[in-house]
């Protein structure tokens, strides 16, 4: 598997916020979001033997392993990594931009999928594979990064259009005032959670946290 870095940290957003995790950040992404905070994963990285990576993840002290990127679903070995690590007794959080099929992961127990639905300010709002939405389970969730009113309106309309209840996060783009988003969610009575990036509040915008 081609990776950029591995590190111990806490989950920064979503229902698992604050949970200690071991992060495996893969290399490469098929999207180019305007506000991406991990553009350094687009090139470089290094190949790491899958067996060694699985053994390492299986033996860290954290109960949760986060497979992130870049776009981790681009990695041909990703399904085998997730299955092997969960078979060892760990839980795996899979962070994905939603443009690639999550089907290979739905049947793997002890996993959660964090699917980032791209908003207009990202420049990638047309990238979502919509059939992924119908595959999501109770353990999975949607995330919308919101930078401006256009993003909020897009996210609100998307949530209203959902045919089933899915845990949903509205995440203010790092550095903007989140108050207006919170007030808009309350005004519109949306069944979502507004959550910032906890790890950035602690360490700032640096890799490896």
What are the extents of the domains in the chain?
Answer: 2-203
Q: What tens digit of pLDDT does each residue of 102-161 get?
A: 999 999 999 999 999 999 999 999 999 999 999 999 999 999 999 999 999 999 999 999
CATH number of the domain at 2-203, out of 3.40.50.970, 3.40.640.10, 3.20.20.70, 3.90.550.10?
Answer: 3.20.20.70
Whole-number pLDDT of residue 208:
72
The three-state secondary structure class of 188 is: helix
| Per-residue confidence (pLDDT) for residue 181, from 0 to 100 | 96
Return d(Cα 197, Cα 91) in angstroms, integer: 21
Rounded to an integer, what distance in angstroms lies between the CA atom of residue 138 and that of residue 195? 19
Instruction: Collect the ranges in the chain with pLDDT lower than 70.
Output: none
What is residue 72's predicted lDDT score, i.e. its pLDDT? 97
* Burial of 186: CB neighbours in 10 Å, binned 0-12, 13-18, 19+: exposed
Q: What is the CA radius of gyration of the chain?
A: 16
pLDDT for the residue 172: 94
Q: In the 8-state DSSP scheme, what is residue 8?
A: E
- Pairwise CA distance, residues 115 & 74, whole Å: 14
Entry pTM:
0.94
pLDDT, residue 207, reads: 76
Residue 134 contacts by C-beta under 8 Å, 6 or more apart in sequence? Answer: none
């Amino acid at each position: 598997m081609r990776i950029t870095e591995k590190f111990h940290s806490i989950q920064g957003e979503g229902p698992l916020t604050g949970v200690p995790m071991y992060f495996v950040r893969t290399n490469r992404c098929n999207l180019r979001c305007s506000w991406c905070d991990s553009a350094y994963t687009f090139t470089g990285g290094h190949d790491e033997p899958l067996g060694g990576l699985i053994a390492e993840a299986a033996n860290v002290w954290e109960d949760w392993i986060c497979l992130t990127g870049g776009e981790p679903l681009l990695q041909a070995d990703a399904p085998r990594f997730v299955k092997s690590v969960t078979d060892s007794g760990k839980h795996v959080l899979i962070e994905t931009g939603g443009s690639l099929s999550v089907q290979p992961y739905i049947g793997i127990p002890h996993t959660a999928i964090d699917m980032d639905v791209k908003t207009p300010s990202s420049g990638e709002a047309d990238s979502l594979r919509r059939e992924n939405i119908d595959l999501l389970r109770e353990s999975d969730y949607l995330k919308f990064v919101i930078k401006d009113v256009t993003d909020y309106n897009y996210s609100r309309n998307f949530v209203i259009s959902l045919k089933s209840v899915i845990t949903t996060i509205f995440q203010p783009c790092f550095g903007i005032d989140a108050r207006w988003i919170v007030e808009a969610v309350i005004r519109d009575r949306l069944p979502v959670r507004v959550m910032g990036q906890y790890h950035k509040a602690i360490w700032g915008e640096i890799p490896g946290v």
